[in-house]
């Protein structure tokens, strides 16, 4: 139990960093120097993507919960008097599947981040707006072309 509190604090700090801290640090002089120092670590661990960071944290949390349920550290017996007898078995099954579900959710978040390629503004347009303005209909294709060109240019620059 002594390790869970520091671990929870570490996860809370990572979430703060992913959601607000990084943007805040970019605005400060000391934060910008810190970010340049920590950038290689970010690239290695989560490709500087906050979404991938959160997905991997969920995967780690699911793995930790799996470990804790295997060693018996998470006990739901105090809750059992509140559950009708016919549902007790179902609750135990779902409780034991919860870590795997959290890990799967983290994997899904990371997978979606890697497969999502266009800005939300390019895809979050109703069909009615597209029908009224034909230029908007071409915007996702233009964004895709620009993205491919940018990725190719970065890959060539990295290879040189």
pLDDT tens for each residue of 95-132: 888 888 889 999 998 888 877 766 767 666 676 777 78
The confidence score (pLDDT) of residue 123 equals 65
Domain boundaries, the chain: 4-116, 117-160
- pTM of the complete model: 0.63
Q: For residue 125, give Cα distances in angstroms to 11, 97, 112, 122, 147.
A: 35, 37, 20, 7, 19
CA angle 123, 125, 127 (to 5 degrees): 120
Residue 134's CB is within 10 A of a number of other CB atoms, namely 8
Structure confidence by residue, pLDDT tens digits, 73-97: 677 788 888 989 999 889 888 888 8
* pLDDT (average), residues 51-71: 84
Q: Which two tokens stand for residue 9?
A: 């604090």
7-24 residue pLDDT tens:
888 888 888 887 888 888
More confident residue, 55 or 128: 55
76 and 118 Cβ atoms separated by less than 8 Å: no
pLDDT in tens, 23-39: 888 889 898 888 888 88
Residue 68 near residue 74 (C-beta atoms within 8 A): yes
Map tokens 């500087």 to a residue.
Answer: 48
């Amino acid at each position: 139990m002594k390790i869970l509190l520091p671990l929870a604090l570490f996860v809370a700090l990572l979430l703060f960093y992913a959601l607000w801290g990084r943007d805040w640090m970019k605005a400060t002089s000391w934060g910008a120097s810190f970010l340049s120092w920590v950038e290689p670590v970010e690239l290695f661990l989560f490709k500087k993507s906050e979404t991938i960071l959160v997905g991997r944290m969920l995967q780690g949390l699911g793995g930790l919960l799996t470990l804790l349920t295997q060693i018996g550290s998470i006990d739901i017996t105090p809750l059992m008097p509140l559950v009708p007898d016919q549902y007790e078995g179902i609750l135990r099954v779902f409780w034991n599947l919860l870590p795997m579900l959290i890990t799967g959710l983290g994997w899904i978040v990371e997978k979606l981040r890697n497969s999502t390629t266009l800005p939300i503004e390019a895809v979050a347009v109703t069909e009615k707006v597209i029908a009224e303005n034909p230029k908007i209909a071409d915007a996702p294709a233009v964004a895709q072309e620009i993205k491919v060109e940018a990725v190719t240019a970065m890959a060539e620059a990295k290879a040189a």
